[in-house]
Amino acid sequence: MSAANLYDWVQASFFLALALPLLSMVLAQLIPERKERAIHWVVLGAALVQMFWTVGGVAAWLFHGGHAIDVPEFEVYGSDAYVFLIDLYFDKDSAAFLVVGSLLHALIIRYSSAYLHQEPGYRRYFVTVSLFYFGYVWTLLSGNFETLFIGWEVLGFSSFLLIAFYRTRYLPVRNAVKVFSIYRIGDVGILLAMWASHHLWHENVTFARLHNAQLVLAHLEGHSSEGLFISMALLVAASVKSAQGPFASWLPRAMEGPTPSSAIFYGSLAVHMGVFLLLRTAPFWEHQIPARILIGLIGLVTAILSFFTARVQSNIKSQIAYSSIVQIGLMFVELALGWHALVLLHAVGNAFLRSYQLLASPSIVSYRIRDQFYHHREEAPSSWSWIPENWRLHVQRRAMQEWHLDRVVSRMVFKPVKALGHRLDFLNGRNAVFVLLPLYGLGWSAWWVQEVLPSAVQAVLPALFAALAMALVFRAFTERQSPGVVWILVIMSHLWVALAVSLNEHFGFDHVAWYLSGIAGGAALGGWVLVQIKRQPNARYSLSTYQGQVVHAPVLHALFIPALLSVMGFPISLSFIGEDLIFSHIHANQPVLAALNAITFIFGGIALVRLYARLFLGPDARTPLGVPNRTA
């Protein structure tokens, strides 16, 4: 096979790898729920074709030298100062993760058909798994930050759906919202890294160009602070996605989903995406010693703390989760030391081991119970007996409390947000409209007369309006009564962001139109759905508890999901491009404005998912016998 033919073949493989999960997802959705065998074979057939094609393609690619392949960029949107490009890139890192993913994906699909037999939501499970795997493949084949962020978002939302698969139970839904909220913290890092990279490189830089060491060093020379800022933003995103540092506690909570999805995603594939992000961007951050030291320290500390936490877990899935966190912490250390080949080998081995352990965990528990009953043995002396007992008890107590990592994240992130949000509690019901609309009109009047305003006022208005937008989503995050108030506040925050950036720089109205176009359609559809829910007989239109409206209004639930995703700026709408377009009008010397907008986007998404979960998921609030709001 010639080099040109190999290139064309690999390029075709890219599109096949992305198309098959989407095709199987659409076909499975069209098959009636009761035809389990047909659903299974459609999804399994696509997984098997992809597995054989991927393994064969990677083998042929390695035989011909294994050179990195960068597919020509596809321009989605372009203007004088901004271009949004879809770029695909394939190298040894993508190859290793793709082979592991294709093998485990096919295995889990086969396993799940028996595990979920006659389970309510059988078709929904396979559709969500296909969506998740599409996001996984898209992330691995991404050639720039914009392309990667598409897959990153798909991974986040499909993870939420898988954890909340048992959507009429309290604990799975609660933990799904919690995991999604922590995931979104990592998205702040990706957004800020994208924004800073645009200003550092003055272009939409591709990952292929990062392998040019001379080019990277030339851009970092004299811009070391900008380079370190990008590296730290990427480290935050990677730490969240791979459950490192104070964010480690989300991984055991993600095990509330079905065991097969826990095995393939939270045990083997999704949890390694932070490692993959650092591998992909290593040619950039490896030139910065502070970044390497911090990556190694976070991995080492997380590995040590999680080692002790895993040893005191009473739940086998939580024990496996923390064991996986330990190994990923060691991968962070290996990354900091520059041992990239060892990281790949370590990730592959950990993925297969954790998948096996999670799939076998029910049988292992049953065997251990039987063995203890019939073959009781005295407990062997502890290998830690040389350590003073009070020290051991102290470490054990802290490990059982998971080192208070949940409390750290709550105090660092969510508690300040709630405190600021509660200061705007007067924005409820009609006040949200009667106060915000006149205030927004006043803001637009400032835009019309900005030429006559003092320069000091012009300089502070963008940050002031962006701070107001952030305050609105914080208020939406704390709302516990009216879903309509949450919906209005998040939509108004988008309008304030558009106004803030419009005051920051002069540009064409088409940029704002791209940003607001998807939001407008989703806002109208979602508002209509909320009105219909409120009009239902005996409906409990409140966010104080989980309502379980999906049982009574499945059609409205199906309509609300695309509306929710559109207002969130999910890749299904033009607003996803519009968000990146808005960031391009924030200057390099305005990190505060960039951070305010990023936090607004992220917490707006969290507030909307909380609204969706509390209104549509959870125990049915209208059951005649009543359902407890909490479980053990």
pLDDT tens string 468-525: 999 999 999 998 888 988 999 999 999 888 888 888 877 767 778 888 888 888 999 9
Query: Which residue, chain included where needed, has tokens 């991404």?
Result: 142
> What pLDDT score does 623 carry?
64
| The amino acid at 611 | L
Mean per-residue pLDDT, 236-243: 92
Domain ranges within the chain, ordered by starting residue = 3-373, 423-616
At 453 the pLDDT is: 74
Query: CA 514, CA 372: separation in Å to the nearest integer?
Result: 64
Over residues 11-31, the mean pLDDT reads 85
CA distance 21 to 271: 20
Structure-block tokens of residue 350: 């950990």
* Tens digits of residue pLDDT in 276-299: 999 999 999 998 899 999 999 999
Give the pLDDT confidence score for residue 632 in this predicted structure: 41
Q: What is the DSSP secondary-structure string of 270-287?
A: GGGHHHHHHHHTHHHHTT
19 — pLDDT class (breaks 50, 70, 90): confident
pLDDT above 90 for 313 = no
How far is the C-alpha of 226 from the C-alpha of 220, rounded, in Å? 8
Burial 455-491 (b: 16+ CB within 10 A, else e): eeeeeebbbebbbbbbbbbbbbbbbeebbbbbbbbbb
Q: Report how far residue 523's alpha carbon sits from residue 497's, in angstroms, rounded to the nearest whole number.
A: 16
Burial class (CB in 10 A: 0-12, 13-18, 19+), 506: exposed
pLDDT in tens, 532-582: 998 887 777 888 888 888 888 889 999 999 999 999 888 878 788 878 888
Q: Which string of DSSP letters, residue by residue, matches 418-447?
A: HHHHHTTTT--TTHHHHHHHHHHHHHHHHH
**Is the model's pTM score more than 0.85?**
yes
pLDDT of residue 625 exceeding 70, the answer is: no
Structure tokens at 26: 């659409």
Between CA 162 and CA 207 the distance in angstroms is: 30
The mean pLDDT of 434-460, rounded to a whole number, is 77
E runs forming strands in 497-543: none
Question: What's the whole-number average pLDDT of the chain?
Answer: 85
Which pLDDT band holds residue 327 (cuts at 50, 70, 90)? very high
Q: What would the pLDDT profile of 109-130 be if each residue is shown by its tens digit? A: 988 888 888 888 889 999 999 9
User: Taking the CA atoms of the chain, what radius of gyration do you get in angstroms?
Assistant: 25
Burial of residue 174 (CB within 10 Å: 0-12, 13-18, 19+) is buried
Distance CA 609, CA 347 (A): 31
Please give the pLDDT value at position 335: 94
At residue 104, the pLDDT reads: 92
Predicted pLDDT of residue 325: 92
Would the pLDDT of 591 be above 80? yes
24-44 residue pLDDT tens: 999 988 998 888 889 989 999
Give the helix/strand (H/E) hosting 89: strand 89-90
Stretch 343-353: mean pLDDT = 92
